[in-house]
Structure 1
Amino acid sequence: MLIRRARGALPRIWRSVPWVQWRLLHLTQPTFLVGVCALLRSEDGEFLLVRNAFWPKGQQWGMPTGYLEPDESLAECVARELAEEIGGGTVEDIRVLDMSAGYRMRVEVLVSGTVRDLPSREEHESVEVSDHRLATMDTLPEGLHDGHREKLARHLG
């Protein structure tokens, strides 16, 4: 009898306090960062790789990555990360290839798209990324990040 009344009352109470709902959910549910990894191809079919100084030694080459900021679209995130990491580039046709959750309270999103108007390697100045290049599966650099190698193999063969 008590459970039956609670089933009817609790949803009504919940719906009557929308200003409290978000706070309760925020306190009781995990909060995730959204990491974005971008598989960006040039018009020639090559893909963009960056050399990230903060990644483990021997695994510093990989695809451009970063964290999604509040109220930012995936395309905006990728464009911002390219500006920060290599000084520019134009991205188009961003679409989600894969998504996974749970690694250290992080949702990881792999997107694909096209890239053009890349700055030259000489124009590039960044503390985080020391180099960038276009590559194919046949011209991968030494020191490719293991996780990125897996993603490239899965999505490019």
Structure 2
Amino acid sequence: MRTLLARLWRMIEGPLQWRVVRLRNATFMVGVTGVVRDAEGGVLLLEHRFWPEGRRWGLPGGYAKRGETLRETVAREVREETGLEVRVHGLAGLRSGYRLRVEVAYEAEVTGGTLEVDAFEILQARWFPPDALPEGTQEYHRRLVAGAGER
């Protein structure tokens, strides 16, 4: 039986194999976060409109789009939410999140643009010293800023 399945698998190859794999496995959303720092070492935090009351402060980020690299997602999300351009560096954290979500965080530095928030999603954006983050900052984001994200 296994030999027959292996033979069938090799016969279908390509896109059809990918469809079969996709149907047999869970589909995950990929959330991507940027730990954005300025030249003075400050970290960019946003007060997110749709996050729970009392826990609205956090790093910029969002979900990856089809065909987009995770680094491209960080740059796009920061630009959309704040108007800033960033250079994305190394991995800051990786964890499986709530249900079928994977969360990936990257370090990033500001390279240009003007800070102007997307008023639909973001209430305000501010730079904070890493050791003086505001009350209501997501705990996992505090760990990412401190360099202690899960990997």
TM-score (norm: length of structure 1): 0.83
Does structure 1 residue 25 correspond to structure 2 residue 21? yes
Identity over aligned pairs, percent = 39
Unpaired runs of at least 5, structure 2: none
Q: Which has the higher helix share?
A: 1
Displacement of 1:125? 4.1
Is the contact made by 1:97 and 1:112 (CA closer than 8 Å) also made in structure 2? yes
Displacement of 1:116? 3.3
2:66 pairs with 48, 65, 70, which one? 70
Matches within 5 A, 1:10-89: 10-18=5-13, 19-86=15-82, 88-89=83-84
Unpaired runs of at least 5, structure 1: 1-5
- SS of 2:30's partner is strand
Does structure 1 residue 106 correspond to structure 2 residue 96? no
Counterpart residue number, 1:142: 135
Closer/same/farther in 2, CA of residues 50 and 98 from structure 1, 3 Å limit: same
Is the contact made by 1:92 and 1:115 (CA closer than 8 Å) also made in structure 2? yes
1:96 pairs with 74, 77, 91, which one? 91
Aligned length: 148
Closer/same/farther in 2, CA of residues 89 and 152 from structure 1, 3 Å limit: same
Is the contact made by 1:61 and 1:145 (CA closer than 8 Å) also made in structure 2? yes
Cα displacement string for residues 22-47 of structure 1 (whole angstroms, at most 9, x for unaligned residues): 22212110000100011111111111
- SS of 2:41's partner is coil
Is the contact made by 1:43 and 1:116 (CA closer than 8 Å) also made in structure 2? no
Cα displacement string for residues 52-90 of structure 1 (whole angstroms, at most 9, x for unaligned residues): 01111111111111000011122221221122212x111
- SS of 2:80's partner is helix
**Greater C-alpha Rg:** 1
